[in-house]
Structure formats: C-alpha cells, structure tokens
Structure 1
Amino acid sequence: MAARTIYFVRHGAADAWGQLTEEGREQSRLIGQRLARLPIDVVWHSPLPRAVESAQIIANEMPRVFVDEAAEVVDHVPFVPDRQDLSPSWAGFFDGYDRSEADAGRRTADSLAARFGRPNARAQRPTHEVVVTHAYPIAWMIREALDAPPARWMSLAGVANTGLTVIEHTDGEPPGVVMVNDMSHLPEQLRWTGFAGGRPL
C-alpha cells in the first residue's frame, strides 16, 4: 500500500451568496500555482459553488489533472456536543440544531473520514490528492488525524480562505499532520489572521 498525501484547501473568499469574489479567485489561482509544483493526481471538490469554482481555478494551473466532485466534503457541522458540554461562546451557534440534523452531520463526517482519512488500499504508487472544501470538514479531518475527541473540531475551525492543510497516510503508521492552515502562497493583503482587527475574508 503506497503513501497517500492529501492537500486540504478551503475555498477562496466568497460573498454572501456563496460566489467567489475577485479576491477569492486570486487566492485560488495562487494556491493552484503552489500546488502545481507537486505531482497532483486529482482535485476533488465540494458540490457548493464556491468550492467548485475554486477547484476549477486551481486545476487550471496544473497540466491535465482530473477534477471531480466528492459529496463527502460538502460544508457541514460534523459533531454537535451536548448542551452541557458547550462553552458560552459556542452555545448560540448550535441553537436550533435538532437531533436529526446533528445525526446527519455526523454521518457525513464519518463518510468524509472513511474516504479521505486513511491510506488508499488500491494504490500501487504514492498518490497526491487536492480536496477543495470548507473550514469545518478540514477541522474534522485534522481532529481525525490526531485522534482527538470529537468536540475538538471546534477549536480547529479557524481555517483561512485557501489555507493549506496537508495530511499524509502511510500503511501501518498513524496519520502525519504535515501543516495546518498555511498561507505562505498569499500576499499579506489576501491573508486572514484570525485575530481581532485582522482582515476577515
């Protein structure tokens, strides 16, 4: 079983209707240029328009790469903690979530981890896959790689637009988290710091 490297990328900056802004297109172009230096086999993307367009822009920077939708990487809340386990800062976020919604989100998260959270048993050579998705699925996959408790995804959800997270899977070894939310491909004006007063894209 060969090594599998997955490059998780949050989509570019989008407007209130979920469409990429000009900044988002430029962010996507720049991460595409960065990833084009690698032997990428496939670019997967969420079915949501902001991820679809980001993936297309990224793939345009690469020679003849396969691009396809992966329903598991759609934007979703992967785990809803019990009310008594929520901090005050998160309590309002989960207002209105019922058990059926929480269960549906967890099923999607489990499918995501099953598809992208382990080595590829059929691969005969090392593979390199880009997954263009959203902040919460990326946080869930980092949590999964670290084998952290389910609720820890919430502390990992501050992923910037086109921030790069890399996770390696090798048979017989725990997943390797190579980098998280790296933005070195972006100029300062296109980065989001996550700090108060920082540039929110």
Structure 2
Amino acid sequence: MLMTETTPPVPSTPPSTLLLLVRHGETPTTGTVLPGRTPGLHLSDRGQAQADRVAERLAGLPVDVIYSSPLERTRETAEPTAACTGLDVNENAGLIECDFGEWTGAALAELAGLPQWQTIQHTPSAFRFPGGESFAQMQARMVEALEVLCAAHAGGVVVCFSHADPIKAAVAHALGTHLDLFQRIVISPGSVSVISYVEGRPPAVLMVNSTLEPLSGLRSS
C-alpha cells in the first residue's frame, strides 16, 4: 500500500479588532462639576477644537464604524470624525457616563470634602453613588458593550466616543488591573486610548490617553 504524507491544515488566525476609545472634549463644567448624565451640556470652544483634532489624528485610519454615548458632548465630539470618514454616528447606551445619582451636578470641590470621596479614590469597587450606579456596575456595563461591538465588527476598526470613568474602567479591565486601582489611569478630554481584541486571547492595550500624534499607522498587535 502506498502511503502518502499529508500536510496538516494551518489553523486560521482569528481577526484582530482595533478599538479606539475617545473621551469627549471639554465642556464649560469640566474639572469643576460632576455632570453625569445631565442633558443639554455642550462642548466649549476648546472642546470643539479637541474634537476637530481627534478627526485630524484619525485621518488615514480605515475606520469601519463610529459609536457614541447618547449625551450631547460625546456626539458633538464624534461629529468631526464622522464628517471626515463619511460614516454615521451610532448611539450606544452602553458607552454612557456613570450614573452619579444624587451627586449629579454637584461641585467637585464640595464632594472632595466628603468622607465617601476617600472611598472613591482608594477603594472604588466598594462604592455606589447614592441613587446611581456602582463603579463595578459601570465597568461591567462598559466592558460588555465593547465586547459586543468588537464581535459585531470583528477585524475592523471601531471608534467609540465615551467618558472618562467608563474609559478608565475599560482600560483597567483590559490591563487586568483591579478596579480599585483604576483611578491611577488618566483619561484627558479629547484623548484616545487603543485596545486590540482577538477572540480567544486577552486584549492588548496599545495606547492610553494619547493626545498628540497621528493615528493612521495604528496596527493591531
């Protein structure tokens, strides 16, 4: 009997998905008030310039889809990128700001004097905003939303416009960092953070809080 050798098939490599997380630009209350999900808050002139800069930095990157938190400040930050790419801005509730409950609209200077503020800074996993979300709920909601979007656009470039705390929580999760350490991550207005997702593998964090260089040369790891 003639025996022939056969070459085993090469396993296919799962597609990598490039996820860009963009914090909205500055508003008139940035750094002074905890706006939360308050409607009607728009970008300041500086925030609009930051939004325009994001679009410039993304020029040349093959963006497949754009998602945004439903709030005005995130949609306004996404609009210049949508105009440059010819894509629509798709609202996704999973990207929305944390629900700060009774603290919504409070001055940060006043909140910083409360004993609960130390819990927020040092053990946020144990804190829930009165009448609102816990940080753990926010992180689970954000991570689930991103995983669904990456699965829906596997192998593509997905740009999501969101808020500081949800982005910090998503980056911490991707890094394998405990939620109690997520306050060490800085996410500035108009910044871009990048995570590469491949099915069946841990995510790879490629960039955090980037505000300067062009992004057209980004590649999944």
For the aligned residue pairs, the C-alpha RMSD in angstroms reads 3.2
Query: In the alignment, what sits opposite 2:71?
Result: 48
Query: In the alignment, what sits opposite 2:129?
Result: 97
Matched AA of 2:27: A
Q: 1:119 to 1:61 in 2, by over 3 A?
A: closer
Q: CA deviation at 1:88?
A: 7.3
1:136 aligned to 148, 165, 172, which one? 165
2:22 aligned to 9, 25, 42, which one? 9
Q: CA deviation at 1:106?
A: 3.5
Aligned-residue sequence identity (percent) comes to 23
Stretches of 4+ aligned residues off by more than 4 angstroms: 84-89, 93-96
Instruction: Name structure 2 gaps, 5 residues minimum.
Output: 1-13, 30-39, 101-114, 215-221
Instruction: Name structure 1 gaps, 5 residues minimum.
Output: 79-83, 187-201
Instruction: Give the 3-state SS of the residue equivalent to 1:97 in structure 2.
Output: coil
Instruction: Give the 3-state SS of the residue equivalent to 1:7 in structure 2.
Output: strand
1:161 aligned to 154, 165, 189, which one? 189
- State the structure with more CA Rg: 2
Q: 1:86 to 1:20 in 2, by over 3 A?
A: closer
Matched residue count: 176
Output the CA distance in 2 between the equivalents of 1:129 and 1:52.
15
Instruction: Give the 3-state SS of the residue equivalent to 1:101 in structure 2.
Output: coil
Q: Which moved more, 1:114-123 or 1:160-169?
A: 114-123
Output the CA distance in 2 between the equivalents of 1:67 and 1:112.
18
Q: Map Cα deviations across residues 40-75 of structure 1 (whole Å, 9 max, x no partner).
A: 01111111111011111221122x213111111111
Q: 1:122 to 1:142 in 2, by over 3 A?
A: closer
Instruction: Give the 3-state SS of the residue equivalent to 1:61 in structure 2.
Output: helix
Q: 1:172 to 1:50 in 2, by over 3 A?
A: same
Q: CA deviation at 1:121?
A: 3.9
Query: In the alignment, what sits opposite 1:109?
Result: 139
Q: Map Cα deviations across residues 88-110 of structure 1 (whole Å, 9 max, x no partner).
A: 7838x999933x5244x543431
Instruction: Give the 3-state SS of the residue equivalent to 2:132 in structure 1.
Output: helix
Using structure 1 for the length normalisation, give the TM-score.
0.75
Output the CA distance in 2 between the equivalents of 1:60 and 1:111.
29
Instruction: Give the 3-state SS of the residue equivalent to 1:29 in structure 2.
Output: helix
Instruction: Give the 3-state SS of the residue equivalent to 1:178 in structure 2.
Output: strand
